[in-house]
Structure 1
Amino acid sequence: MTETTLSDAKRALLAQRLRRREESRTITARAPGTTPPLSHAQERLWFLEQYRPGTTTYTVPVAARLRGDLDADALRRALDEIVARHEALRTRFLTTEDGTPELVVDGPRPAELRVTEAADLEAAVELLDAELATPFDLEHGPLFRTVLVRLAPDDHVLLIAAHHTVIDGWSSDVIIRELLALHDGATPPSAPVGYGDYALWQRG
């Protein structure tokens, strides 16, 4: 068995290449005021929406049964904070004059929350199905909305619906965790980068 020994110059070159490879994998926050591009996935979904406008195929539903004390006002404030924390939930997609998509990030605004009641779980499911049958407007937004259905004073069903251009399975789990923490008065840590930073990194 032979042992290969690298020269000092080759070791330095290898270390330099490894550092560059690691840097290329690191996503950093973009400069303030920089509008991110669409990611490849967002561009594909935008194109499919142009092909079949008004579809609900790309609506991502997240439903949670919430038992125990629930403060609707605290939930509304928590949702407002969620929208402020995650710029993807304030994103819209315009069509430019040359027919290409352009991403717009709006400033923080109150979340869209509708509070209603249902006699039982079956009636609640019917309400939520009707909500999910309403398509999103990619150009005018918002692309994120919520419905809270009250079954009893200590029993609720929460539906979060968003377009797939602004949410996926992983991020929906993050939003639910942060939402419940904020409702209970905690302040979960903010992510150092957002999806727009990832899109800019991907395009680069």
Structure 2
Amino acid sequence: MAARRDTYTPQTLLQVAVGVFNERGYDGTSMEHLARAAGISKSSIYHHVPGKEELLRRAVSHALDGLDAVLEEPAAGTGPAVDRLEHVVRRTAEVLMERLPYVTLLLRVRGNTETERWALERRREFDHSVAELLRKAVAEGDLRPGTDVRLATRLLFGMINSIVEWYRPQRGGPQVSSQVVEAVISTAFAGLRGTGRP
């Protein structure tokens, strides 16, 4: 037991916690569940973190930081809005698959704790940024005229977020994830672009 305890780091403990949260639900997970899954004592967990909510915060932060970083990439900030939107959609799908367990957990938070409410607010800010890009692309004439921006944003995220329910990286790796991204882009933008546009 001592040898295993010595090998645990905050990051490896976080990976275990995310797996348990996704399996049992955050509310259904106790420190005892986490200790059992990690194979260490509860006091060893408390050595790394003050409690399970801190593990939740770190987990959803990892997901949110990845999404927010997409908006800071050069291709998300320059050029026609439709190109920036396509870049953000592409990279959002990639981040989701790269950080699958963390994004899965993020998409399951319901606002029952302070950390969950904080995470939901950050998610809303990200969604608003994407909706604004969509609005600009419509205004610039690069998306179908009359597009309902609010509805289109919800449908876009609905499609991307559904990936967490069926995508399993061990069944195909990078090639499959690349195919998923291309399918998201072609499906979304074939519908969003106006008639006769490429």
Provide the TM-score with structure 2 as the length reference: 0.27
Structure (1/2) with the larger helix percentage? 2
Higher relative contact order (CA 8 A, sep 6+): 1
The structure number with the bigger radius of gyration is 1
Q: Which protein has the bigger strand share?
A: 1
